[in-house]
Amino acid sequence: MRPSAVRLLNILVPVKRAVDYSVKIRVNPQQTGVDLNVKHSMNPFDEIGVEEAVRLRERHKDQVKSIKAVTIGPPKAIEILRSALAMGADSSIHVEIPENSPALEPLAVAKTLREIIKRQKEGVDVVILGKQAIDDDLGVTGQMLAGLLGWSQATFASKVEIDHAKKEALVTREIDGGGEEVRCRLPVIITTDLSYNFVNPEPRYASLPNIMKAKKKPVEKFTPEDLGIDYTPRLETLKVTEPPKRVGGSKVANVDELVTKLKEAGITVA
Amino acid sequence: MLRRSIFPTRALSRSYATTTHPHALVFLEHRQGVLDSGSLSALTAAEQLGGKVTGLVVGAPEHVQGVVEKARKLKGLTSILHSASSQYAEPLPETVSPLLEKLLSGSTPFTHIVSSTSSFAKSLLPRVAAKLDVPSVSDVTSVAHDASSNSTTFTRPIYAGNAIATVRAPSSIPLKFFTVRGTAFTAAQAQDSSQAEASSIEPVEVSDSPTEHIKSTFTKSDRPDLGVAGRVVSGGRALKHAETFASTLYPLADALGAAVGASRAAVDAGYADNSLQVGQTGKVVAPELYMAVGISGAIQHLAGMKDSKLIVAINKDPDAPIFQVADIGLQADLFEAVPELVEKLKA
């Protein structure tokens, strides 16, 4: 078989293992962080990223050559890669850091991803990340990676169309007060917004056969030393505390009482 | 003993080697020539660093001068840099970042780069920070600079606002990038006596941008802007349809002169536009009055509104978590209670 003139797309999906979104987190007594002995799962925005990658393949059948998931995390982060593989990624990379390492800083993550992209023999055309992780809520990794590589970036994406022949992506983005459409030249960094769920159905559940298959899919392992990345935090976390507790007031019996209370608080019609 | 005697020398040499006077560069955003209110809060945060504050205005030639004239009067600004180019009319991170990189490279006078946590600044600042090999701190709610150690301490919410992290950017980070949560700082005011000096800088033209702007669509509304409104009326999934969302909530919002917000459930179900979403992944608001109608109060939603001054909840479910944070709760069917409330408020 002769190789086609236009190279097929290779997609990279970075995913993060984070405390599950439904867990009510607790700050530890030493005030160094939160109790992490709780349920973890794939960061919801990254799940949307994996889903979108898989859908891109469904839409552009023979144009997507590979979907590779990558995570940087402790040994347990492999579960997150298995979920991505069960959703439809072909292979994965685990940059394994020791258990109980300090939280990763986005710049170090972006440098890791750059290094991994450099090592992909066939190159990477599209990187799809979540717009933010729900633990540190920083929301900067995708932009940092785009900066390091000098690539096009489309943050807070709600819709992505790829024109393979023209080597470009048409992305609809969520911006303050509305939406924006941009045309990005490949290779591109895309970060997903939640409204993917609104435009499309939710990310798929992995079926049992797919979960079984995922166990056989390849996981390539790296250590920080292999990649030459230093994960020592540059920002110092001095402490983590509980936010001030908000105590609810009383209930009122009816609308009249509500109106009275509102008026007492100085709330009247504008 | 020997160690102790070394310490003072070290401390001396360190303070000698570092510039201790902060000089912040605040990215002043505008839309079509109208200054963004979030940027005014960012300016207040920058002023709290205790040094010089320079504003940066970029935009299309027809807008920049007007914005600069308004910005010159802002309290807290020492000077303004402005750059006009047709390329900045619809700014993209790819086209604006080279200008910032140029301003911040080499022997730059700036020590801090500050912006609001807006969708554009969130896209732009980390891109620039990475190129300059420094971290970026997002959505800070307080800032304090220690000139003697040249370190800046920030607080910021993490885990959807369920924990507050205090982080310090030490002197080893020469350029401290941060974005500011608007609701945590008052907006800088204009005053007649201020006349910050303005000077223009050459735009850095990007001839071959990998990204091209096609179009923007803004949701038009006569109601106040959600991010800065003094009063917010928000609806959730219990509103049932887009039509009932509008017909129930809008009269109440209009009676109170309030902005309309929505929970993620309401946005996902298509009752309200995305731009109205309040929560961890949407807007963060802290109005004088927040009225949550038919919203259960998931932690992701609370993250976006729990700093509101007065929270009122109307919900049929007595066990809805929203009642745990609401100052005034009314357990009732919203389709009956809200119209009655509108009527009685007006009476």
- Contact between chains at B330 and A146 (C-beta distance less than 8 A): no
State the pLDDT at residue B256.
Answer: 95
Q: Would the pLDDT of B38 be above 70? A: yes
Nearest CB to B168 within list A139, A177, A236: A236
Q: How confident is the model at residue A84 (pLDDT cuts 50, 70, 90)?
A: very high
Report chain B residues whose CB lies below 8 A from the CB of A178. Answer: 216-219, 275
> CB-based contact (8 Å) between A36 and chain B?
no
Q: Would the pLDDT of B12 be above 50? A: no
- Contact between chains at B275 and A174 (C-beta distance less than 8 A): yes
More confident residue, A195 or A27: A27
CB proximity under 8 Å: A 91-110 to B: 105-107, 110
Query: Is the whole-model pTM more than 0.95?
Result: no
For residues B233-254, average pLDDT: 95
pLDDT digits (tens, 9 = 90+) for B117-173: 999 999 999 999 999 999 999 999 999 999 999 999 999 999 999 999 999 999 999
Query: Considering chain B, what percentage of its residues have pLDDT values greater than 90?
Result: 82
Query: Considering chain B, what percentage of its residues have pLDDT values greater than 70?
Result: 94
At B5, the amino acid letter reads S
State the pLDDT at residue B157.
Answer: 95
pLDDT digits (tens, 9 = 90+) for A174-220: 898 889 999 999 999 999 987 655 445 678 888 999 999 999 999 99
For chain B, the first-to-last Cα distance in angstroms comes to 80
Query: Considering chain A, what percentage of its residues have pLDDT values greater than 70?
Result: 95
State the pLDDT at residue A195.
Answer: 66
State chain A's mean pLDDT as an integer: 92
Q: Would the pLDDT of B10 be above 60? A: no
- Contact between chains at A241 and B255 (C-beta distance less than 8 A): no
pLDDT digits (tens, 9 = 90+) for A114-173: 999 999 999 999 999 999 999 999 999 999 999 999 999 999 998 999 998 899 999 999
Residue A151, both tokens: 């690539």
* Number of residues written out for chain A: 270
Q: How confident is the model at residue A31 (pLDDT cuts 50, 70, 90)?
A: very high
State the pLDDT at residue B2.
Answer: 44
Report chain B residues whose CB lies below 8 A from the CB of A125. Answer: none
- Contact between chains at A148 and B130 (C-beta distance less than 8 A): yes
Strands A40-42 and A17-19: antiparallel
For residues B249-259, average pLDDT: 95
State the pLDDT at residue A61.
Answer: 77
pLDDT digits (tens, 9 = 90+) for B288-318: 999 999 999 998 899 999 999 999 999 999 9
Helix (H) or strand (E) holding B256: helix B242-256
State the pLDDT at residue A6.
Answer: 61
Q: Could you give the CA distance from residue B178 to residue B26 in angstroms, rounded to a whole number?
A: 10
Report chain A residues whose CB lies below 8 A from the CB of B164. Answer: 240-243
Ranges of H-type helices in chain A: 44-59, 78-87, 106-118, 141-149, 196-199, 208-214, 224-227, 255-264
Distance of CA A235 to the CA centre of its chain: 22
Interhelix angle for B242-256 vs B334-346, to 10°?
A: 20
Question: What Rg do the C-alpha atoms of chain B give, in angstroms?
Answer: 23
Q: Would the pLDDT of B104 be above 70? A: yes
> Sheet containing A236-241: which strands, arranged edge to edge?
A236-241, B163-169, B151-158, B142-146
- Contact between chains at A146 and B270 (C-beta distance less than 8 A): no
- Contact between chains at A155 and B123 (C-beta distance less than 8 A): yes
CB under 8 A, 24+ apart: contacts of B87-92: B87/B203, B87/B205, B87/B206, B87/B209, B88/B58, B88/B59, B88/B60, B88/B203, B89/B59, B89/B60, B89/B63, B90/B213, B90/B216, B91/B58, B91/B59, B91/B120, B91/B124, B92/A182, B92/B209, B92/B211, B92/B212, B92/B213
Report chain B residues whose CB lies below 8 A from the CB of A246. Answer: 306, 311, 325
Largest separation between any pair of C-alpha atoms in chain A: 80
- Contact between chains at A269 and B345 (C-beta distance less than 8 A): yes
More confident residue, A84 or A22: A84
